[in-house]
Amino acid sequence: MLTNLLRTFGLNEKEMNVFQKVLTSGSQPASSVARLCEMPRNTVRSILDNLVKKGLMVKSTRANTQYYSTESRENIARNLKLKKVRLEEEINRQMDLLDRYGEELSARHWAKSRPRITFYEGMAGLEKVYEDTLTAKNGLKSWASCDELLDVMPEYFETYFKRRAKKGIPMRSIHPDTPSAVGIANRNLEELRETALIPAEKFYWSPEIQVYNDRINIASWKEKLGIIIESGEIADAMRVIFDLSFEAAKAYGKHGGIADYEERTKRQT
């Protein structure tokens, strides 16, 4: 519908009303459009001029009177392409400046900051939390329930594990022993992961906790909430706690990758 198209341009109800009146009536002065819309002339003129700025209308002068008409589809498309090019150029410029001066920005920030906690809400927020782990310089350490993360964002994790491995980021993880966890563990070699499975009936949790760089993230699947804690001291402590729990988890005899799980499956059958 036309109204849906106009909303994508950020038009409100009054602006859409004015635009459609001009579209159906043809080129009109502001006074005529005001009568058609039953609105004050000054208000309509302001709306018309705003539509001209947005590239949706054209203003011309005839006999000392300004007329407004809707822009052609071709010209609107041409203007949008030009805006896209300019926006991409501006984003590229900002990214270039960030690459050049970002380290200075970070250094000044951390010089006078305390541990920082950032919250990310919703599915998009959870994705941001996981994308941040792809900056890991010395690998990831994780406590995770595979059932929960695959149930909430299956399509995202279908590519995430592969992208992490492609970046050469290894991972150690502890999971409740479920079919989903076994499925993930069977891809350990190709996805640069070492796992330890522990009895799900005794040890089960929902959120995932990851440690990397100077950060700890927590992904709450039930609350659709992601948290990143930035603190070198806390991250170091969590790494020690993980190493301790990973050694204990290996004692259950469910540690490793493809070969271990294939052998265990044979014994169970």
Which two tokens mark 27? 């080129």
**Domains of the chain with bracketed CATH:** 2-72 (1.10.10.10), 112-268 (3.30.870.10)
Which two tokens mark 97? 């400046």
How far from 266 is each of 163, 184, 261, 262, CA to CA, in Å? 31, 18, 9, 6
82: three-class secondary structure by DSSP: helix
How far from 50 is each of 13, 58, 168, CA to CA, in Å? 14, 11, 51
- The answer for residues whose C-beta is within 8 angstroms of residue 254's C-beta and 6 or more apart is 177, 196, 197, 198, 260, 264
Q: Per residue of the chain (269 residues), what is the pLDDT tens digit?
A: 677 778 877 888 898 888 888 888 888 899 999 999 999 999 999 999 988 988 888 888 888 889 999 888 888 888 888 888 988 999 998 888 888 877 766 655 555 557 789 999 999 999 999 999 999 999 999 999 999 999 999 999 989 999 999 999 999 999 999 999 999 999 999 999 999 999 999 899 999 999 999 999 999 999 999 999 999 999 999 999 999 999 999 887 666 543 443 444 445 44
